[in-house]
Structure 1
């Protein structure tokens, strides 16, 4: 999202940011320059009431939809001067669409669907909740083809649902390949330690490796941190695994540069939580790491098994261990895979090209909206 905002600003667009959480992610990426270039002031949609949001939700219970919509309507003036409203995540698109139904906003609505906002409703059978978005929105931009089909199946008009990938700027990431022949093989994961990231399966697969000359660094915090530390102890690999917690953006980049294999064996959460296409995988592939992940959500749109990385079925520890063993034993055969991965990111997940496309979409909708 930060990069998309930066892309619009670079193309001479005026951008206003209205959000729920004023500093989401900033504590983990305070050294990311894009925070300093955000157009200001960043506005809270609910203003002073935002700090009471969780309490209001608990207090209002089944009346939450009505109460939250009432507060959204009262703050709709914060969106009225926009030529186009871009809502990141389906639930925010739904909020805007409900306000539009009451004629408080007339600008075209673009809703970007990222992951949880599709996965959980699919799991619960509630994707139909987005029908106001389909009816009032000008365009739905899911981040992968898997989500596109899910939205169409839920009633969205196919011509209004277009896949728009998130991306990275590969020109800012130096490609760096080095063989691990004759030295310790370095695995790394950078992720929130939640169920869908599949870190448990990475640990279990590593414990099965016949080769013991490896290390594994895990960057990120989350509710499963303590549990995963205990898992590493139980598996007898705690001396090779380092849980680093959240680290500054600059340090993460350096640790990625020093690693060989990026592990992200994503799984569908028990609550339906899904990945989109993780940006962390794109960054690793651009930097020359071998990416290992799963046949999950939109990830196969980024990684083709044995060509631009490696994929295994979700939760299949034996298959994952087999891929990691092959990688450990074949550094020479991995080099062309790493190069192909870099080229894949440059071709299909380059945010410079994606931001140009997005700016064209927004500009076209803005012109259409001003003529109606």
Structure 2
């Protein structure tokens, strides 16, 4: 089988779950082609290593040679921009007809492909995977009506959590055309190792893009409250970069905790795993951003739970489908600094009790977020859709 993936910038360090899914299909004998909205040059992504070496050889910009026109598109009037974009999409995406099935990651990419299917340009069945931004932002702006063509012409919408599934159905997607399919992690590559912090500082870590929805501001404010208690000792490492980094560094200084907080910027995935092994707890107090952007179920939380860290997060989007408060981790309401500080303080003061919680967290990830199992399921979904097309 040949599968065409339609994505945004590729490859992207913040979307390694997409690369992992492609690799899972390749291991099962699928041929994978990537159509992207611009080839990225991320310095932390090594294109010479597999599976990226093979994927990059089969990657092309959606608009081919016309990609040089992309920077000028925002200057066009809205109606003309839509017409030109759709014409370019149709011209340069026809080669996807050589695929048995097309997979679009993120709803806006699925909507682009669906418009071409509506016009009869593309024939393969379309599977669209929704992740978060593509659900929350449209709801905040003008509802999910922008996906009407996708709901009519797509074969299947896959959502990374059940919350998104219900939202899409309420917006008009056919019940039978929407299913939950989690993103997962390579369990075998992350050994479980619980470390007690009895008699030493609690080593906390966050790995994320420093954007509003990740809620790092609230982690800093909660830790500033803990800093008032001389009996609680902690250090906090933040890995990642983004638009809020300078602002968050200033906040740490204003709160008087900058001596205990380290901003390391973006690091290769191997280095991140090393930092996870050195840490005790993982903090990700996600929130709904002002523009509506929301999480799916963060892969970083899955990796931390698999590694044996005690996680502290929020009741946000699909996170409660992964983290059960008091059983596989700890949750606070969004933007609730007081409760977040209380959860972090309890973790700091009860290291031995957290061992049971960390073990349960590993079991949860193994059962429901194992990439090997999920890739097998995904391969089966695509095979059935391609088979149904041939039978028709």
The CA RMSD measured in Å over matched residues stands at 1.4
Whole-angstrom distance in 2 between the partners of 1:280 and 1:80: 35
2:131 is matched with which residue? 114
Alignment partner for residue 348 of structure 1, among 350, 353, 368?
A: 368
1:52 is matched with which residue? 69
Question: Residue 159 in 1 paired to residue 179 in 2?
Answer: no
Alignment partner for residue 323 of structure 1, among 340, 343, 346?
A: 343
1:30 touches 1:249 (CA, 8 Å); kept in 2? no
Alignment partner for residue 283 of structure 2, among 243, 263, 282?
A: 263
2:191 touches 2:306 (CA, 8 Å); kept in 1? yes
Q: CA deviation at 1:62?
A: 4.4
Q: CA deviation at 1:33?
A: 4.4
Q: CA deviation at 1:296?
A: 0.4
Residues 1:75 and 1:159: Cα distance change in structure 2 (over 3 Å): same
2:102 touches 2:126 (CA, 8 Å); kept in 1? yes
TM-score (norm: length of structure 1): 0.97
1:187 touches 1:263 (CA, 8 Å); kept in 2? yes
Whole-angstrom distance in 2 between the partners of 1:118 and 1:78: 29
Q: CA deviation at 1:37?
A: 4.1
Alignment partner for residue 314 of structure 2, among 290, 294, 308?
A: 294
Q: CA deviation at 1:75?
A: 1.1
Give the match's secondary structure for 1:243: strand
1:176 is matched with which residue? 193
Alignment partner for residue 234 of structure 2, among 197, 214, 225?
A: 214
Whole-angstrom distance in 2 between the partners of 1:116 and 1:358: 22
Whole-angstrom distance in 2 between the partners of 1:304 and 1:83: 39
2:218 is matched with which residue? 201
The correspondence of residues 87-98 of structure 1 with structure 2, limited to 5 A, is: 87-98=104-115
TM-score (norm: length of structure 2): 0.92
2:329 touches 2:361 (CA, 8 Å); kept in 1? yes
2:303 is matched with which residue? 283
Task: Give unmatched runs, 5+ long, in structure 2.
Answer: 1-17
Whole-angstrom distance in 2 between the partners of 1:263 and 1:143: 21
Question: Residue 123 in 1 paired to residue 123 in 2?
Answer: no
Q: CA deviation at 1:76?
A: 2.3
Q: CA deviation at 1:238?
A: 0.4
Give the match's secondary structure for 1:362: helix
Whole-angstrom distance in 2 between the partners of 1:229 and 1:78: 47
1:366 is matched with which residue? 386
Whole-angstrom distance in 1 between the partners of 2:191 and 2:40: 29
After superposition, give the CA deviation of every residue in 1:326-356 in whole Å (9 maximum; x if it has no partner): 0000001000100000010000000100000
Residues 1:128 and 1:101: Cα distance change in structure 2 (over 3 Å): same
The correspondence of residues 7-26 of structure 1 with structure 2, limited to 5 A, is: 7-23=24-40, 26=42
Q: Which has the higher contact order (CA 8 A, sep 6+)?
A: 1
Whole-angstrom distance in 2 between the partners of 1:62 and 1:312: 44
2:15 is matched with which residue? none
Alignment partner for residue 332 of structure 1, among 352, 360, 367?
A: 352
Task: Give unmatched runs, 5+ long, in structure 1.
Answer: none
Give the match's secondary structure for 1:359: helix
Q: CA deviation at 1:20?
A: 1.0
Question: Residue 27 in 1 paired to residue 43 in 2?
Answer: yes
Count of residue pairs brought into register by the alignment: 371
Whole-angstrom distance in 2 between the partners of 1:215 and 1:51: 47
